[in-house]
């Protein structure tokens, strides 16, 4: 059975479920407007403030089903519902993971590799430069540095991207992006220094440059054919990158008896939605960087 790669990084919105409106409100909490620091013995402790902004997401229905006949069930040497259940669960995870990935790819922070050690940035959500080189360790460091400084190319300054609760960022790589990174001798040397810990689904057993590296397992989620040399896509994620609203958690449903039990079937069904809460244009803050191409 497939496992969620992208969905494991969503933030479920609490307090929502059945018998609610199809639109879910959630809060966005900004960073402090001014930073604290040293104070003298007789100085007042400085005061600052932050903002809480309301946003919302819309839930929708998702599902798929596989039918079979009562005759097949009677004559088959195995129970058809067993392989059907495996296939339908794989489909469920693939569909919902792609939905999360598609929402992540609406990030306005875009990084394009124009050489082995050169790049171009866009901050309006539209890639304008053709990528020519695969992902490598230099590009990883550039993306992490940008996340930590809030500088996304010349003249593009915003809030920093907060790291995950463990202090690291997460990098989700397509097949070609992973190959480009693993073939880089500098990465190979850096990756020798590893330590055991609990891994995310699809994670490789290294933390490099404050970045946890996860391989994509869904061919429809990240492109392998961007730019002039079939460049593979990647996503760098900080904390609170996607909000998830669940009215009805995904579940399996058997088809109700029709035609006196001759028609059989199994479906997965859910009512939920996903949204990227931060927008660089409106919030001067974005928690996802896209490695892609025009």
pLDDT at 17: 62
Question: How buried is 284 (Cβ within 10 angstroms: 0-12 exposed, 13-18 middle, 19+ buried)?
Answer: middle
pLDDT at 260: 78
User: With pLDDT > 90 as the criterion, what percentage of the chain qualifies?
Assistant: 65
Indicate the pLDDT class of residue 161, thresholds 50, 70 and 90: very high
Predicted confidence (pLDDT) at residue 195 exceeds the cutoff of 60: no
Strand partners, 25: 56
Q: What is the DSSP letter of 37?
A: -
pLDDT at 24: 81
Predicted confidence (pLDDT) at residue 200 exceeds the cutoff of 90: no
Answer whether 223's CB lies under 8 Å from 174's CB.
yes
Strand partners, 26: 55
Neighbours of 158 (CB within 10 A): 20
Q: What is the model's pTM?
A: 0.87
> Pairing state of beta strands 169-173 and 242-254?
unpaired
Answer whether 233's CB lies under 8 Å from 177's CB.
yes
pLDDT at 87: 93
Predicted confidence (pLDDT) at residue 26 exceeds the cutoff of 60: yes
Answer whether 131's CB lies under 8 Å from 293's CB.
yes
Indicate the pLDDT class of residue 239, thresholds 50, 70 and 90: very high
Question: How buried is 160 (Cβ within 10 angstroms: 0-12 exposed, 13-18 middle, 19+ buried)?
Answer: middle
> What is the domain range of residue 287?
1-294
Answer whether 85's CB lies under 8 Å from 252's CB.
yes
pLDDT at 16: 65
Number of domains in the chain: 1
pLDDT in tens, 54-92: 888 999 999 999 998 888 777 676 676 788 899 999 999
**What b/e readout covers 215-250, taking b as 16+ CB neighbours within 10 angstroms?**
bbbbeebbbeebbeeebbbbbbbbebbbbbbbbeeb
Three-state DSSP class for 283? helix
Overall average pLDDT of the 208-233 stretch: 93
Which of 65-74, 182-191, 227-236 ranks highest by mean pLDDT?
A: 227-236
pLDDT at 23: 85
pLDDT at 257: 78
Indicate the pLDDT class of residue 196, thresholds 50, 70 and 90: low
Distance between CA atoms of 181 and 198, rounded to whole angstroms?
22
**Which CATH number do you get for residue 162?**
3.90.1690
Indicate the pLDDT class of residue 197, thresholds 50, 70 and 90: low
Indicate the pLDDT class of residue 19, thresholds 50, 70 and 90: low
pLDDT at 20: 66
Overall average pLDDT of the 190-202 stretch: 69
Instruction: Strands of 183-241 (E only): list them.
Output: 203-208, 211-215, 234-237
Distance between CA atoms of 67 and 88, rounded to whole angstroms?
11
Overall average pLDDT of the 171-184 stretch: 96
Indicate the pLDDT class of residue 50, thresholds 50, 70 and 90: confident
pLDDT at 168: 95
pLDDT at 27: 82
pLDDT at 268: 96
């Amino acid at each position: 059975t497939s496992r969620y790669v992208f969905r494991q990084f969503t933030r479920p919105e609490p307090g929502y479920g059945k018998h609610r409106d199809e639109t879910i409100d959630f809060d966005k909490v900004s960073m402090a407007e001014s930073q604290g620091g040293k104070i003298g013995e007789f100085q007042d402790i400085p005061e600052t403030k932050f903002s809480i902004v309301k946003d919302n997401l819309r839930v929708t229905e998702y599902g798929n089903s596989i039918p079979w006949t009562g005759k097949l069930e009677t004559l088959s040497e195995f129970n058809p519902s067993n392989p059907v259940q495996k296939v339908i669960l794989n489909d469920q995870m693939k569909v919902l993971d792609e939905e999360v990935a598609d929402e992540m790819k609406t990030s306005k922070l875009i990084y394009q590799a124009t050489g082995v050690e050169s790049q171009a940035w866009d901050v309006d959500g539209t890639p304008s430069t053709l990528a020519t080189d695969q992902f490598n360790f230099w590009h990883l460091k550039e993306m992490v540095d940008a996340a930590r400084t809030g500088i996304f190319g010349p003249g593009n300054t915003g809030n920093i991207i907060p790291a995950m609760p463990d202090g690291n960022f997460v990098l989700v790589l397509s097949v070609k992006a992973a190959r480009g990174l693993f073939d880089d001798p500098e990465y190979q040397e850096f990756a020798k220094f590893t330590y055991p810990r609990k891994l995310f689904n699809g994670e490789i057993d290294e933390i490099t440059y404050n970045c946890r590296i996860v391989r994509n397992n869904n061919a429809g989620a990240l492109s392998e054919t961007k730019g002039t040399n079939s460049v593979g896509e990647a996503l760098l994620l900080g904390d609170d990158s996607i909000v998830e609203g669940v009215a009805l958690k995904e579940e399996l449903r058997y088809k109700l008896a029709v035609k006196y039990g001759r028609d059989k079937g199994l479906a997965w069904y859910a009512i939920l939605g996903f949204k990227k809460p931060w927008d660089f244009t409106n919030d001067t803050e974005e928690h996802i960087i896209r490695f892609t191409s025009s």
